[in-house]
Amino acid sequence: MKALARWLGLVLMALVALQLFFVAHIAFMAVVAPQSTSFQRSEAWRIAHDKGALRWRQQWVAYNQISDNLKRAVIASEDDSFTNHDGVDWDALEKAWEKNARAEQKAASQKPATQAAPGKPAPKPPKIVGGSTITQQLAKNLFLSGERTLLRKGQEFVLTLALEHCLSKQRILEIYLNSVEWGEGVFGAEAAAQHYFRKPASQLSAYEAARLAVMLPRPRTYEKLPNSPYLASRASVITGRMGDAQLP
């Protein structure tokens, strides 16, 4: 029993030390921009492995050098209560949970009919809706892997609260816009603006910003489908909602 207690104590100490490391790293970001994120490094490794070359386009720009159009578009598209919540939008999370449960129930009800007709194609798996805020997305991209486990989700919540406690909303949005993926090897607002529109991020129009915001859930997919009707129609919707988006 003593050996087990000692082992559990060491594990607990390691977990506490890890959280302190994360908090110190986040506090440091209040004054120093992160050089890279966990997601960026994993993507760089994947691209280098698959294509034999490192593709990484990113240029950090200050908050005031990013068009307000892009800030408003991303908030309207990804997290319309960004300036008001404490890092987690519990209402959006509950709605996402209910939507996923309905999708899973629908998929389960269709499964027997599909099995009875083997000649028909299998139904598509239910679409999973995340409900994550901008702060949660940043926490995941900065430090965590893409796996979906309760342990990883719990760590994401801890990091989210640390980000909200140590950084201002403006700094959180600044880091997010400078590090988020906008295509294969394309990270941050400046690289995205140059890649898609051949202009700096400070000069993006409302519609251009809305198109970039709509790309965020699946940037590598939309990079290959620039003329997607969904991308165009959704960008028009986001453009109409940008006036209601509150900036930090």
How far apart (Å, rounded) are the C-alpha atoms in residues 191 and 204?
12
- Retrieve residue 65's tokens: 């050098």
Q: Which residue has the higher pLDDT, 15 or 129?
A: 15
Q: Answer whether 185's CB lies under 8 Å from 219's CB.
A: no
Q: What is the per-residue pLDDT across 93-120, written as a single tens digit (0 to 9) for each?
A: 667 556 655 555 555 666 555 454 455 4
pLDDT of residue 111: 58
Q: What is the per-residue pLDDT across 181-212, written as a single tens digit (0 to 9) for each?
A: 999 999 999 999 999 999 999 999 999 999 99
Q: How far is CA 11 from the centre of its chain?
A: 30
Sign of CA dihedral 81, 84, 86, 91: negative
Beta bridge partners of 186: 57
Mean per-residue pLDDT of the chain: 86
Sign of CA dihedral 144, 146, 148, 149: negative
Q: How far is CA 69 from the centre of its chain?
A: 19
Residue 125 has pLDDT above 80, yes or no: no
Beta bridge partners of 187: 181
Query: How many CB atoms neighbour CB 213 within 10 A?
Result: 25
Percentage of residues in the chain having pLDDT higher than 70: 84
Q: Which long-range contacts (CB under 8 A, 24 or more apart) does 211-217 make?
A: 211/235, 212/70, 212/73, 212/74, 212/182, 213/70, 213/73, 213/74, 213/76, 213/77, 213/78, 213/238, 214/77, 214/238, 215/182, 215/183, 216/74, 216/77, 216/78, 216/180, 216/182
| pTM of this structure | 0.84
Phi then psi for 58, rounded to 5 degrees?
Answer: -160, 140
Ranking 143-147, 209-213, 232-236 by mean pLDDT, the lowest is: 143-147
**Mean pLDDT along residues 63-71:** 98
